[in-house]
Structure 1
Amino acid sequence: MRALIHPIISCSLATLASLPLSHAHEGHDHPPKGEALTEVLHTGSGAFTYRTVPGFGQLPDGAKLGPTHGGVAVDAKGLIYVSTDGEKSLCVFKPDGSFVRAIASPAQGIHGMQMITEGEQQFIYGAQLNSYGKKNKHKRAVKLDLYGNIVMQIPNENTGDIPGGTKGITGIAVAPNGHIYVSMGYGSNLIHQFDQTGKRIKSFGGRGKEKEKFKTCHGLGIDTRFGAPRLLVCDREKRRLIHLDLDGNWIGEYATGLRRPCAVSFHGDHVAVAELEARVVILDKQGKQVSVLGDNPNKKQWANFRVAPKDQKVGIFTAPHGLSFDQAGNLYVQDWNTSGRVSKLLLVPATD
C-alpha cells in the first residue's frame, strides 16, 4: 500500500534526479528558468498522489493565455484543450506541455466544456458565456470540431422557447443517448435538456432554498458509475454535488461541505472536483474525500481572479475552475485567473 504523504512536499534537484520520469520539463529542450527548474512538488495522498510539472503550458515568446474562466478537455490522442476568454479562444498542448496551436474560434469564451466521441470523430461541446469578449456577445451552447469550427449551436431553428433564455450559461454535458444538458448557473439556475438537433425537451431546477433547487448550478457531468447514467451537478454556492436522473428527477446529494465546486472529471470509480476556493479534491464512489490536491493556505488567494503570476506557487491553486483527467489518471487544472493559468499534475505510480 502507498503511504500517506504531506499534501505538499518539495523535492530537491538531487531527489528529483532519482525519481521516475525525473525531468521537471519532460519533452522541453529549454525549460523555463527559476523555481520551475529547481523544484517539483508532491501533492495528494494514497492512490491519488501527484507531482507537479513546472512550466507546463508555456506559450511561445512568453505570451499569456489570456483570462482563464473556462475548462479543460483531453482528446483521444492525449492533446489538451484549454479554453480562454482571450483572442486565442482555445489553446492546445501536448502532454509534455509543449504548445501545439491556438484556435481563434468564433466560440470565444467557452465556460464549461466536454470532449465527446461520436463514431470515429471527436467534438468539443461548450457553454459559451463570453464574459470578456467585445466583438462577440453570443451566449449559447456550441458543438465544435477540434479546429474550432462550429458544427451546431443552441439555440437554433429546432430549439423552440428556452425559459429564461441563455443568459448566464455555465455548464454542459452530453449523455450516452446524445441528449445535451446545459446549465444557467449565472442566470435562471435552470438546467435545460435538448436532443441531438438542439430541440428543447424540458427544463428543471431553478433557484431556491429547497433541496431540489440550486444556487449557482455551475458545472455538469454525466456519471456512469451507478448503472443507469446520472447527471452530476456542481451546485456551487450550496457547496455540494447532487445527482439527478437524466429526466431531471432528484436522486440525492452525493457530496456536501465542499469549497464551491465548479467542475468535475471522472476516472474509474473516482471523480475530481475543481473547487473555486483553492483546491482540487478526489472523491470515491460514495462521495468520500480520498485525496486533496494543491490546497492553498493563503485564504487571500482563494477564488481570487487577480493573483499575479509572480504570486502563484507551483503546486498550489488559487481558484480551480475547470479540470480533466487523461486516460492515465493525470490531471490538468485551470485556475480562474486574469493572466491565465493551467497546471498539470502527474500521477505517481503506486509502489509496494
Structure 2
Amino acid sequence: MPSRRSFVQTGMTLATALVTAPAFAIGGKYPKRTASMEEIIGHGDYRYRVHRDWAKINPFTTFIDNCHEMVTDSKGRLIMIGDDPRNNILVFDKSGEVVDSWGTYWPGGHGLTLVDEGGEDMLYVSESGWMRSRDDGRTMIRQNGYVAKMTVDGRLVFSIGHPQGIGEYEPGMPFQPTETAVAPNGDIYVADGYGSDYILQYDQQGRFIRKFGGHENADKNYNLHNAHGIAVDTRDPAGPRLLVTSRSTKEYKYFTLDGKWIKTVDLANLQICRPVIRGQNVYAGVCWSHDFSEGGEQPWLRQTGFTMVMDRDDRVVSCPGGEQPVYENEKLQRVAQDTARTFYNGHDVCVDADENVYVCQWNAHRTPPVKLERV
C-alpha cells in the first residue's frame, strides 16, 4: 500500500496548480491570498507546503516577542518558549490552538528541551540573560542566566546557576546559557552559547562533572564560538555522541559524551541554531546567511534566514526557505535566502510524528510559529 506522502506527491500537479507568492510584504504583513494559492518550499525529498496561519493566536491576550524554540510532548502537544515574560511558555494542540500558557520568569527565555523521565515529561528551560530595557523597550541588557528544570505545567524542580559558584568560572566570566541536552543516563549538558562558550556537564541531580569548549584551546578543534545549540545524537545506539553548534564559525562539531572532539562539519555561510535530530536527519533554523563583515552597524538585524535539513552523512539536502544546496568537490557552497523571503530569521524547528516542521523565528515582527507540511 502506498504511503500517505507518496499518494500526496503522486496526486499533485505542480506545473499547473502551484502558484508561489512572496512570503512577506513590507512591514511584515502577509499578501492577500486566495484558496488556490499555496507555497511549496524545500528540495529533493524534503519539500513542504507552507501554512502561515497555523497558529491561532489572539495578540491582545497571548503575547509574542520572539519565538525561540519548540518541542513536542508525549501527548502530541507543541510547547514553545519565547522571551515575552507575560507568557513565556505557549502550548499548542496539533491544530494550532493555544491550550495553555504560563511562565513570567524569563525575560531572556531561549532554550527548551523536553525529556521523558520515567513516564513524566520534564522541561529544561534556558534563560539566556538577555532582556530589553524597561526604559525604551529596545536597548538590550546583558545579565547572567540560568537553567531551570520544570514540569510541563510550570512547577520548578531545580535550577543550575552560574558556574562561578562552584569554582568552575573565574570572576567576570559571563554565564548566558542558550540550550541543554540530556543523555540516556540522565546527564545534563548546558551550552553557554551567549556567555563563555563552554559546554558544562552535570549529572541528573545537577551536580557538576566537567566542562569543555571555550575559546583558548591549544587544539582549536575544541574552540567554540557562539555555542548556540546542543543535542545528544543517538542515531548510532552503540556510539552516542554530542552535536554542538559553533554558530559564528558556521560549523557543527561532534564530541563524545565525555567531551572528546570527533569531527567538524563545515556549513559554508549558514549560521545555524540548535540541531534537532529526528530519524536519521538533523534539522535546524538558519538565523542568518549573510556575512557580518559586509557592513552595517547591526548586521544581526538583517533578515536572511531560512531552515535546513542535513542527512546522516552530514550533507545538507534541503534548505526550505533558501536556495537549493549545492556541493562542489564535497564542499557545501553558499546558500542564500529564497527570493520570496519565506522566513525572516530561522531560530528553531520542531518536527512532529508526521515529519511536518514547525518554524520558530527571531526578529520576525512578532510572527507566531509557521507550519511546514511535508509533501
The alignment's TM-score, normalised by the length of structure 1, stands at 0.79
1:57 counterpart residue number: 55
1:293 aligns with 2:329: no
The alignment's TM-score, normalised by the length of structure 2, stands at 0.74
Post-superposition offset of 1:12: 5.4
Matched position secondary structure for 2:275:
strand
Matched position secondary structure for 1:318:
coil
1:93 aligns with 2:97: no
Unpaired runs of 5+ residues, structure 1, are 14-31, 304-312
In structure 2, C-alpha distance between the alignment counterparts of 1:73 and 1:50, rounded to whole Å: 19
Aligned residue pair count: 313
> Which residue, out of 130, 139, 146, partners 1:140?
146
Residue identity in the other structure for 1:216: N
Residue identity in the other structure for 1:206: G
Please give the per-residue CA displacement for 1:286-311, whole angstroms capped at 9, x wherever unaligned: 101111101289xxxx99xxxxxxxx
1:213 counterpart residue number: 223
- Given that 1:140 and 1:166 are in contact with CA atoms closer than 8 Å, whether structure 2 keeps it comes out as no
- Given that 1:258 and 1:275 are in contact with CA atoms closer than 8 Å, whether structure 2 keeps it comes out as no
Residue identity in the other structure for 2:206: G
In structure 1, C-alpha distance between the alignment counterparts of 2:199 and 2:40, rounded to whole Å: 38
In structure 2, C-alpha distance between the alignment counterparts of 1:291 and 1:221, rounded to whole Å: 20
Post-superposition offset of 1:163: 1.8
Post-superposition offset of 1:332: 1.1
2:298 counterpart residue number: none
Residue identity in the other structure for 1:110: G
- Given that 1:85 and 1:131 are in contact with CA atoms closer than 8 Å, whether structure 2 keeps it comes out as no
1:186 aligns with 2:186: no
C-alpha spacing 1:156/1:234, structure 2 compared with 1 (3 Å): closer
RMSD of aligned residue pairs (Cα, Å): 3.3
Post-superposition offset of 1:330: 1.0
Post-superposition offset of 1:182: 0.5
1:320 counterpart residue number: 346
In structure 1, C-alpha distance between the alignment counterparts of 2:74 and 2:184, rounded to whole Å: 17
In structure 2, C-alpha distance between the alignment counterparts of 1:36 and 1:54, rounded to whole Å: 13
- Given that 1:184 and 1:218 are in contact with CA atoms closer than 8 Å, whether structure 2 keeps it comes out as yes
- Given that 1:71 and 1:110 are in contact with CA atoms closer than 8 Å, whether structure 2 keeps it comes out as no
1:161 counterpart residue number: 167
Post-superposition offset of 1:167: 2.1
Matched position secondary structure for 1:71:
strand
- Given that 1:281 and 1:293 are in contact with CA atoms closer than 8 Å, whether structure 2 keeps it comes out as yes
In structure 1, C-alpha distance between the alignment counterparts of 2:340 and 2:90, rounded to whole Å: 21
1:204 counterpart residue number: 212
In structure 2, C-alpha distance between the alignment counterparts of 1:254 and 1:283, rounded to whole Å: 11
- Given that 1:296 and 1:317 are in contact with CA atoms closer than 8 Å, whether structure 2 keeps it comes out as no
2:285 counterpart residue number: 274
Post-superposition offset of 1:337: 2.1
Residue identity in the other structure for 2:309: I
Unpaired runs of 5+ residues, structure 2, are 1-5, 21-29, 135-140, 289-304, 325-335
- Stretch deviating more after TM superposition (112-121 or 37-46): 37-46
1:329 counterpart residue number: 355
Residue identity in the other structure for 1:51: R
Please give the per-residue CA displacement for 1:24-81, whole angstroms capped at 9, x wherever unaligned: xxxxxxxx99438663211112321111113121312555642215211111222111
In structure 1, C-alpha distance between the alignment counterparts of 2:55 and 2:190, rounded to whole Å: 29
Post-superposition offset of 1:104: 2.6
Post-superposition offset of 1:10: 8.1
C-alpha spacing 1:105/1:116, structure 2 compared with 1 (3 Å): farther
1:340 counterpart residue number: 366
In structure 2, C-alpha distance between the alignment counterparts of 1:96 and 1:339, rounded to whole Å: 23
Matched position secondary structure for 2:248:
helix
1:72 aligns with 2:70: yes
In structure 2, C-alpha distance between the alignment counterparts of 1:258 and 1:147, rounded to whole Å: 39
Residue identity in the other structure for 1:142: A
In structure 2, C-alpha distance between the alignment counterparts of 1:66 and 1:11, rounded to whole Å: 32
1:223 counterpart residue number: 233
1:309 counterpart residue number: none
Matched position secondary structure for 1:237:
helix
- Stretch deviating more after TM superposition (55-64 or 203-212): 55-64
1:27 counterpart residue number: none
In structure 2, C-alpha distance between the alignment counterparts of 1:235 and 1:335, rounded to whole Å: 19
Matched position secondary structure for 2:154:
coil
Residue identity in the other structure for 2:315: K
Report 1:33-48 matches (<5 A).
Answer: 34-35=32-33, 39-48=37-46
Matched position secondary structure for 1:211:
helix
C-alpha spacing 1:327/1:150, structure 2 compared with 1 (3 Å): same
Post-superposition offset of 1:211: 2.2
1:306 counterpart residue number: none
1:176 counterpart residue number: 184
C-alpha spacing 1:131/1:58, structure 2 compared with 1 (3 Å): farther
Identity %: 25
- Given that 1:53 and 1:346 are in contact with CA atoms closer than 8 Å, whether structure 2 keeps it comes out as yes
1:125 counterpart residue number: 124
C-alpha spacing 1:174/1:12, structure 2 compared with 1 (3 Å): same
Post-superposition offset of 1:315: 7.6
Residue identity in the other structure for 2:350: S
C-alpha spacing 1:211/1:11, structure 2 compared with 1 (3 Å): same
2:295 counterpart residue number: none
Residue identity in the other structure for 1:220: I
1:239 aligns with 2:250: yes
- Given that 1:279 and 1:320 are in contact with CA atoms closer than 8 Å, whether structure 2 keeps it comes out as yes
